[in-house]
Amino acid sequence: MRGKRGASSNGSAPDSSPGRGSRTNTLQDEGNHFNTPTTPQKSNKTAGTATPKRLRELTGTPKTPLYSFGRNQQVVVNADRSARRKSYRKLIQDTLDEGNSDQEDDEQNEIVREIAENSQDDSSEDISGLESEAEIENKKINRGTGFEEYFAQLRAKGKTSNNTLSKLPQLDHSECRRLLDEMGPFHQEETDYLHSSKCHGGMFDQWIFELSSGFNILLYGYGSKRRLIMNFVESHLSNQLVVVINGYFPSINIKDILQIIASALEINVGSVSQDILNTILAELPHNSIPPLTLVIHNLDGENIRSEKSQSYLSILASHPKITLLASIDHINAPLLWDIAKSSNYNFLWHETTTFIPYTIETSFENNLVSQISQVGGGKGAKYVLSTLTPNARGIYRLLLESQVKLMKDTEQANESFGLEYKNWYTLSSKEFLVSNDINFRNTLTEFFDHRLVVSKRDHVGEEILWVPFEKRGVVQILEDLDEM
């Protein structure tokens, strides 16, 4: 009925002049894809009439995406071609569009259902993928997850072997020497060159000059220097009095060294180290005593590293009639000497690297290894006794002296060489080392704790005590006590 308004009242044909109705039809033809419904309040208006703003939206130039708010403005913001994003875009576009048909509604529902299913499938795949990766990682490192690993670590117990050093077979000295000889020399040609006159051997004349000038010589460097020193002694000191000391020998001590020197100089000495040194120094100025060259392999030997040993040797080396040729192998050997000792030694240092294995120097180590089976060992006893009081050391000395007298030619110690408890206490009381039985028992506790003394009851119930070391170890401990 709305279209009849454009006809004349007399029923004639519509006026051809452009009027409001023709204008509306023109707009509808130009924008027929917009079907703008009118509200009841606007029913009195001319059909198809658009506001200026609406006209600008329909016919105006498209604006940039930032300022364009038209429903039909299609601007590609992201060129993502994935099916999911395209589906989302289509769903949003159709939702904004007001002219949806039933078919379009079905398509929208189908798209929504596909998106939901795809999202669930992807989520389940992601979760299963993570779980599988975690399981694979745990299998690789062979462990559980979370609390399982925590309790597994607490439940695990460390395994301790029952093997000990005492179960190892002991190698005697002859067998050790045989095995070392079978090894043979290494790099024989190179080591011979180092000992030749083209290398270290060419310094022998200089060494003689330095010794005659009042200096002492100290050789250092990697490798055994025993062969080099003995070559020098045989070639340049054969017509002089020479005393060779093997400082690497396990049982050597300063008392033995002083006695050897006194014997070479034909000097009668006593049994105390200090007295022997004083006697040697007093006899050296006599014209009847010839000059002496003292050769010491390994001046830093383990048994002559003590303060007393190094002090005595430095005093001997400072005498005008004694020249010293020595070698060291430990990198920290110079730390043994303070300013006074260094001044007495008056060393000229020579680097003599030979790269020769320490075959001879280490061949005596089996003597120390054999002491592993003994209780504590002589070395351990020395360090323990150094921490005790003088009275405690005196009490222990009484037992050592008594045991040495009883052992005679026997090496292994047992209860037959020990002292009864009451006899040991009586001897200690006579020497004023203890005042009562309680103090004596407390002192013995220290010996028992460090296994320096063992005890056993005899057939009548008397307690027998003795030192569980070989005779050689007992003698070494007595000598160590003399130096304390």
* Residues linked to residue 167 through DSSP beta bridges, in sequence order: none
- pLDDT bin (cut points 50, 70, 90) of residue 22 is very low
CA 431 to each of CA 80, 427, 458, 467: distance values in angstroms, whole numbers, following the listed order: 106, 6, 27, 20
What mean pLDDT is predicted for residues 307-333? 95
Report whether pLDDT(101) > 70. Answer: no
Report whether pLDDT(80) > 90. Answer: no
Residue span(s) of the chain under CATH 3.40.50.300 come to: 186-362
What CATH number is given for 186-362 in this structure? 3.40.50.300
- Is the sign of the CA dihedral 112, 118, 119, 120 positive or negative? positive
Which residue, 457, 478, 464, 479, is CA-closest to 417? Answer: 464
Residue span(s) of the chain under CATH 1.10.10 come to: 372-483
Length reported for the chain? 484
What mean pLDDT is predicted for residues 107-131? 58
- Give tens-digit pLDDT for 238-258: 889 999 999 998 878 898 899
Per DSSP, the three-state class of 468 is coil
Look up residue 163 and give its two tokens: 């093997």
Q: What distance, in Å, lies between the first and last C-alpha atoms of the chain?
A: 137
Report whether pLDDT(277) > 90. Answer: yes
Per DSSP, the three-state class of 242 is strand
What mean pLDDT is predicted for residues 212-218? 95
CB-based burial label for 301 (10 Å; 0-12, 13-18, 19+): buried
Look up residue 267 and give its two tokens: 């000097």
- Give tens-digit pLDDT for 428-475: 999 999 988 888 988 898 888 888 898 888 878 888 998 888 887 888
Which residue, 409, 394, 356, is CA-closest to 478? Answer: 394
What pLDDT, on a 0 to 100 scale, did the predictor assign at position 28?
43
What CATH number is given for 372-483 in this structure? 1.10.10
What mean pLDDT is predicted for residues 351-376? 67
In this prediction the pTM is: 0.53
